[in-house]
Amino acid sequence: MASPSPLKQLANLIVASVERIDAACNTQGVSFPSLDEPISPSSEEIRHQPDVSQAINVIVAAATQLIATARVPTISVVTLGLQWAAISSLGVANDTNIPEILREAGPQGLHVNEIAKKNGLDPARIGRVLRTLATIHVFKEVKPDVFANNALSSVLDTGKPIEALLEDPMGKHDGTSGIPAIVGHTTDEVYRAGTQLSTVLRDPKWGHSQEPTEAALNKAFNTPLPPFEWLELPENAYRLRRFGVGMDGTSKIFPAGAVLQVADVAGGIGSVSMIIAKAYPHLKIFVEDREQVVPEAKKFWDSSLPDALSSGRVSLVPIDMFAAQPAVGQNADLYILRQILHDWSDKYAAKILTQLRAAAGSKSKLLVIESILSYACEQPADELTISGAQAKVVAPAPLLPNFGGAGAPSYFGDLLMLAIQNGQERTLLHFSNLLKSTGWELKEVRRPPTGIGHSYLVSMPV
């Protein structure tokens, strides 16, 4: 009997995964969230359960591969080349408060003429932008030229009243989830940098550079500055504020170990350390970052956990990551680098790791929290020698081993870091070799249950 065709195999994976999700919903007496309804914390609970999340990844990977297999290749490639329209449309909706306008309008939606009265745009052009987004399932067109929020567009909603956004546009993202801020960042400076990536990669000098001042962002904005200094220019005040909220929004709860002193290296305002400090009040924590970040960090801690700074159990320490650790950072029990190394090329990542190794004691541990890129082919044997690597979730055939479309955001993030400052995401072997070259031994890797998301790499001094 002939084997099922690739189309049939992919379709079968989708059906089987849908049945798994339906079974989980039936067992718990809940319905799977509707695309037509805005999201809420309760609606999303089912998606975050490991078995359901894994089934979703299979559906996304199989559906993406099914489309790529079935559709005319020329149409697929040309459509990819036109994705700028989706990114630009998303930026327009996010920047002009359309999700908030439609939230206040309710499920019946609002005509483009009424939307225009609230944000000042041309109503016909609003309709064209929203219809493009509704066609790819962001927003919904309930009647001709009448649009409403759906599950995807509601993610862009800051939750603030329109009047508040108009009165204080600079503070639009303050106190929000951070997701609209991230979308603003990626559809603005990241997108503009991305348009210069091909030009930079073809440049004889910049195309091989590891310098953070010779990246696509520098070309796009005609600046000689590294990205963080560029963001601190007066004309980028809104971008800097938005970026800070967006990075705070990426914070996730993670299990802290039973340690005495924690150095959160380049920890920003201390979002991750705040979680640790609340869960483990006996720990002494040092939040280390650039001197310019410390005032904002102080505001954050004073408003969220005011006794932490006054009691001395949390300290805000200005540092230069590429210089020696200050006295308080010597011999820490745990050093944390959360989404820091991906900002930098190997040249600069090695400098950071070398300075931490010089400060570490014999029992110090280093926790690196990053996305780990998988190959789009079989896992190499060398990776399997690393503790925890064997636990990697393997995608079922005929899916790509890295889950294809379901894992794509990590690869998009890799090119984002390349465009912004010649940074990069890394494979597990790349991490292992980088750590080894700077005096650290990778002892264990812990991947997320679904195989997609941030991983934890635990190292000790060699």
262 and 370 in a single domain? The answer is yes
Residue 417 lies in a domain: no
380 and 314 in a single domain? The answer is yes
**Count of domains for the chain:** 4
296 and 429 in a single domain? The answer is yes
pLDDT digit string (tens) for 353-408?
999 999 999 999 999 999 999 999 998 888 888 999 887 788 999 999 999 999 99
CB atoms within 10 A of CB 162: 14
143 and 210 in a single domain? The answer is no
313 and 364 in a single domain? The answer is yes
277 and 344 in a single domain? The answer is yes
Which active-site residues does the annotation give? Answer: 342
Q: Which domain holds residue 117?
A: 83-166
304 and 325 in a single domain? The answer is yes
Q: What is the spatial distance between Cα 455 and Cα 417, in angstroms, rounded to a whole number? A: 18
pLDDT of residue 390: 81
Nearest to 346 by CA among 212, 206, 205: 212
305 and 335 in a single domain? The answer is yes
Band (pLDDT 50/70/90 cuts) for residue 254 is very low
Q: What is the spatial distance between Cα 16 and Cα 18, in angstroms, rounded to a whole number? A: 5
Residue 414 lies in a domain: no
Residue 415 lies in a domain: no
* Contacts of 359 by beta carbon, 8 Å cutoff, 6+ apart: 324, 325, 329, 330, 331, 332, 335
DSSP 74-104: HHHHHHHHTTHHHHHHHHHHHHTTHHHHHHH
Residue 412 scores a pLDDT above 80: yes
pLDDT of residue 258: 34
Q: What is the spatial distance between Cα 440 and Cα 335, in angstroms, rounded to a whole number? A: 12
Q: What is the spatial distance between Cα 54 and Cα 242, in angstroms, rounded to a whole number? A: 32
Residue 285 scores a pLDDT above 70: yes
Residue 34 lies in a domain: yes
CB atoms within 10 A of CB 87: 15
20 and 105 in a single domain? The answer is no
pLDDT digit string (tens) for 102-124?
999 999 999 999 999 999 999 99
91 and 146 in a single domain? The answer is yes
pLDDT of residue 1: 67
* End-of-domain residue from the set 246, 267, 300: 246
Residue 438 lies in a domain: yes
Residue 412 lies in a domain: no
pLDDT digit string (tens) for 300-345?
999 999 899 999 999 999 999 999 999 999 999 999 999 999 999 9
262 and 373 in a single domain? The answer is yes
Residue 301 lies in a domain: yes
CATH number at residue 435: 3.40.50.150
Residue 11 lies in a domain: yes
Q: What is the spatial distance between Cα 392 and Cα 394, in angstroms, rounded to a whole number? A: 6
* End-of-domain residue from the set 191, 215, 246: 246
Token pair in block for residue 399: 């899916």
Question: What 3-state DSSP class applies to 381?
Answer: helix
pLDDT of residue 256: 36
